[in-house]
Amino acid sequence: MFVLIVSVALHEFGHAFVANALGDDTPRREGRVTLNPIAHADPIGTLLLPLLGGLYSAAGGGIGGFGWGKPVNWNPARINRKWKMSTAKILVSIAGPSMNLLLGSVIMIVSAVLVGKHVIPITGDAFKVLYFAGVTNFILFFFNLIPAPPLDGGHVAGELMPYKHRASYDAYAKYGPFVVMAVAMIPQISRIFTIPAQFCAEHVYKLFAHLF
């Protein structure tokens, strides 16, 4: 639950920071350009569901951790005129997953250094917690890139969609939440983001373990 709260907070901070940097001060006025997890917490998505998932996991029901943060409000019409609106929307959308990619990589580097310097054993609980935190952030990265609204990948796909196919995409977007639920809850489908996440986490760790 702690790992998810921190990871979601950094994800939403990424959206807010980039929107503010592009010229829209809405996130700053609403107090979202901050790393304070409370500012980005959604009562259900960030607190209740992760708590229930953690209890379910502790009871032997598998791994919990499904959730989301409070969406960042921003106004594309307020961005600096030197940016195309479609470009701004894409940059703000990918900022969130990029923060998870960055955090996941940093955690793997730190864990590799700590193990390499014999600060923590690779078989100990501290390493397991760090590795789990790293994998979680890689999972959030790949999950949010799925091209289905309201995920960030869905917004990017909508902006990149050729105009002649925009109507078809808008019709598909109406069912986006159901696509997201299916991808998240059906194990056979969820592999499209869990497998690459685990692959990246493992190889990033091995790369830095080799260096240290």
Q: Which two tokens stand for residue 110?
A: 């730190």
**C-alpha to C-alpha distance for 180 and 151, rounded to whole angstroms:** 8
Q: Is 12 a catalytic residue?
A: yes
Is the CA virtual torsion 42, 53, 95, 161 positive or negative?
Answer: negative
CB 115 within 8 A of CB 122: yes
Going through 79-153 in order, the beta strands assigned E by DSSP cover none
**C-alpha to C-alpha distance for 138 and 102, rounded to whole angstroms:** 9
Residues assigned a catalytic role = 12
